[in-house]
Amino acid sequence: MTLSRTPLALALASLVALSGCASTPDFTEESSMGMASGEVAYTEDMAIEMDTRAASDGDVSYEPAVIRTGYLSLSVASPPESADEIEQLVDAAGGRIASRSDYTPVDYGQPSSYLEARIPYDALDATIEAITGLGDVQELSLNSMDVSLQKVDLDARIQVLESSLSRLNELLAEAATTSDLIAVESALAERQAELDSLQSQRDYLSDQTLFATLSISLITPENATPAEPDGFLDGIIRGWDSVVAFFAGTIVWAGILVPWLGLLGVIVLAVVIIRRVRRRNR
């Protein structure tokens, strides 16, 4: 049984209105939660309850609802070697290194390394503890952002679009005329593009929650921030070290200035000779 043009047009119009609520959301931290299915408004409490229930039931597809990020600054003897050890620790935890850069000075300066590690959320704390054992911690900060509402919102929009696509495929098989076929195919292409966009956002959100992002900066003790003196004796030692460092720096600067002083002496000597020559010519 086929549909006439008018019923098919009405069916298309109703599907467009139904899937309108599945338009691409603004995926930001401050995005508001709309009507997920057109009838039920999800609240933050409902999202957290659903997430907690999935975790307690031991669901193999459970995903955390929190994005965790962190920064770790570590003072180590050899940044490149410690970076290699960190890569092994992250790999053993089931994570990966998203990026790495090593700085090896040629003439002066101290070597350093920077890594961005993606670590499974359930292995983050243990991995950080293992990494901090490689040197002296200069700075450590961890941040969390709850994305329960974004997850529920995206899942609901995806479900609506999938239902819309299923119904459009049925209408495509029932299309009686060329114009009906073109109209259904156009609606299908539009809904499929929206679904692909939402699914990409959902996949990205899953990756951000399943893997925490830890930025790691490795420096040498020479570049480390000095700790506060523990007492009078420690203060004397720090003071003596500063005096030695001052004279060492003075010697370095003196060495840098020697060639300039020689050049200045040559210029002065040339000026003196020119003046004497002019006096004799007078």
Structure tokens at 67: 């994005």
Say if CB 127 and CB 93 are below 8 A apart: yes
pLDDT value, residue 30 = 37
Structure tokens at 243: 């005096």
Q: What is the pLDDT along the chain (282 residues), one digit of tens a residue?
A: 344 445 555 555 555 555 554 444 444 433 333 333 333 344 444 444 545 454 445 444 667 889 999 999 999 999 999 999 999 999 999 999 999 999 988 767 789 999 999 999 999 999 999 999 999 999 999 999 999 899 999 999 999 999 988 888 888 888 788 888 888 888 889 999 999 999 999 999 999 999 999 999 999 887 665 555 566 676 677 677 777 777 777 777 777 877 887 888 888 888 888 888 888 777
Strands (E), the chain: 66-75, 96-103, 112-120, 136-146, 211-219
Amino acid in the structure at residue 157: R
Say if CB 113 and CB 83 are below 8 A apart: yes
- The alpha carbons of the chain give a radius of gyration, in whole angstroms, of 34
pLDDT value, residue 275 = 83
DSSP state of 71: E
State phi, psi for 123 to the nearest 5 degrees: -115, 5
Query: Angle at the Cα of 237 (from 235 to 240), degrees rounded to 5?
Result: 110
Alpha-carbon distance of 192 to 19, in angstroms, equals 11
Residue 14's nearest CA partner among 122, 241, 168, 209 is: 168
pLDDT value, residue 182 = 87
CB atoms within 10 A of CB 42: 20
What proportions of the chain, in percent to the nearest 5, are helix, strand and coil? 60, 15, 20
Spatial CB neighbours of 178, under 8 Å, sequence gap ≥ 6: none
Spatial CB neighbours of 148, under 8 Å, sequence gap ≥ 6: 44, 47, 48, 51, 65
Say if CB 218 and CB 78 are below 8 A apart: no
Residue 113's nearest CA partner among 142, 85, 141 is: 85
pLDDT value, residue 61 = 60
